[in-house]
C-alpha cells in the first residue's frame, strides 16, 4: 500500500505530469531526491531516471560484497542493482550509455581514463540527452548544480549536458532528426547534502544519548552551507523507507551499516521530513518558496 499523500497535494492534481531526473551513476538517484520521486510516482506522475554512466569504476563500498567475481562482473551487477532500485521507487529508467570516469585522487591528479564520460564531447552527449527529452517530454527536469553536487567529473559533465539540452530541446532548428521539439517548463538542481540537516540530526542523536550515530554525522561538518540556494522543499517523510530500500538495492556501493543509515528513518522523519531543491530556471510563473516541483506547470 502506498503512503498517504501530503495534505497539500492530491494524486489527481499530478496525474499525467512527467518528471525526468538526470544522474551520473547508478545509486545517485537513490541518494538524491529519491523520496520525492517515489512520492510523485505514487501521485500519478510519470517519473524517469536517466543514468549517464554504468558506474563500472565504482569501488566496492560494502564489505559484504567484497567477494570473488564481483569486480569482474561489476557492470552487470550494477545494471541489476539499478533495475531493482527503480522498481522500488516506482520509476522508469534509461541508460545514456557512457563509461564511468572513476574518481581520480592524488596530487597532482592522474588523467581521466580514455573513453570515459567526462572526456566525451559535450555537444555529442547533449544531442543524446536532447533525444531523451524529446522522447519522454518531461514537464520538470531535475539535475545537478554547476559543482555537480560534489566535484566528481561525471557529475560536472552531467550538469553541463543536461543544462545544455534544456536550452536546445525546444529549438525547432536544433537537430530535427532527434524528434519533435519539446520545451521543459522547469529545471531544478537537487541538493541532497544539507549541512544544517546533518547538524540537527546529530543534535537529536546526542539528546537521545546515541553518541555513535552523532559521531558518524561529523563527516558532513565541512559540507558547504547550501540552504541559502534552496527554493523548494518537498514533504516526503512517508517515502523515506522507500528511499532507504532503493539505496540498499545498490549493494556494491552502499554499506547497510554505513553512514547513510547512521540515523534511524523514524528520527529523520521527525527532524527533517523534506528533500531540498533549487529552482535553477523556469519558463512558467511561480512563487518562491515552493513545496511542489510542479507549481505553475501547464499540463499538456
Strands 274-282 and 186-191: antiparallel
75 annotated to bind ligand: no
Q: Would you give the end-to-end CA distance of the chain in angstroms?
A: 29
Work out the number of other CB atoms within 10 angstroms of the CB of residue 283.
14
In whole angstroms, what is the distance from residue 250 CA to residue 288 CA? 35
Which burial class, exposed, middle or buried, applies to 40 when counting CB atoms under 10 A from its CB (0-12, 13-18, 19+)?
buried
**Cα-flanking dihedrals φ and ψ of residue 189, to 5°?**
-100, 135
Cell of 41: 510516482
Strands (E) in 69-115, as ranges, are: 92-98
**DSSP secondary structure letter of residue 201:** H
28 annotated to bind ligand: yes
Cell of 210: 546515541
Q: Annotated binding residues for Zn(2+), as ranges?
A: 25, 28, 155
Q: Annotated binding residues, as ranges?
A: 25, 28, 155
Amino acid at each position: 500500500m502506498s503512503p498517504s499523500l501530503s495534505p497539500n497535494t492530491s494524486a489527481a492534481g499530478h496525474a499525467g505530469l512527467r518528471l525526468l531526473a538526470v544522474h551520473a551513476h547508478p545509486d545517485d538517484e537513490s541518494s538524491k531526491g529519491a523520496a520525492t520521486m517515489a512520492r510523485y510516482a505514487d501521485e500519478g506522475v510519470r517519473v524517469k531516471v536517466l543514468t549517464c554512466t554504468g558506474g563500472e569504476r565504482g569501488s566496492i563500498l560494502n564489505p559484504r560484497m567484497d567477494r570473488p567475481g564481483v569486480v569482474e562482473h561489476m557492470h552487470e551487477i550494477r545494471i541489476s542493482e539499478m533495475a531493482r532500485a527503480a522498481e522500488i521507487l516506482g520509476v522508469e529508467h534509461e541508460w545514456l550509455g557512457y563509461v564511468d570516469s572513476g574518481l581520480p585522487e592524488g596530487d597532482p591528479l592522474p588523467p581521466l581514463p580514455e573513453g570515459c564520460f567526462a572526456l566525451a564531447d559535450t555537444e555529442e552527449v547533449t544531442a543524446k540527452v536532447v533525444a531523451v527529452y524529446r522522447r519522454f517530454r518531461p514537464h520538470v527536469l531535475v539535475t545537478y548544480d554547476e559543482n555537480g553536487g560534489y566535484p566528481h567529473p561525471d557529475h560536472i559533465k552531467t550538469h553541463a549536458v543536461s543544462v545544455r539540452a534544456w536550452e536546445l530541446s525546444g529549438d525547432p532548428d536544433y537537430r530535427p532528426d532527434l524528434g519533435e521539439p519539446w520545451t521543459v517548463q522547469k529545471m531544478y538542481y537537487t541538493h541532497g547534502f544539507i549541512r544544517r540537516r546533518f547538524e540537527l540530526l546529530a543534535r537529536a542523536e546526542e539528546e537521545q544519548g546515541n553518541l555513535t550515530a552523532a559521531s558518524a554525522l561529523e563527516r558532513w561538518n565541512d559540507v558547504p552551507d547550501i540552504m541559502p540556494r534552496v527554493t523548494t522543499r518537498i514533504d516526503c517523510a512517508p517515502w523515506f523507507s522507500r528511499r532507504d530500500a532503493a539505496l540498499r538495492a545498490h549493494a556494491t556501493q552502499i554499506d547497510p551499516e554505513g553512514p547513510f543509515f547512521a540515523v534511524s528513518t523514524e528520527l529523520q522523519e521527525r527532524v527533517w521530513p523534506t528533500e531540498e531543491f533549487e529552482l535553477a530556471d523556469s519558463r512558467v510563473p511561480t512563487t518562491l518558496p515552493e513545496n511542489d516541483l510542479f507549481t505553475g506547470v501547464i499540463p499538456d
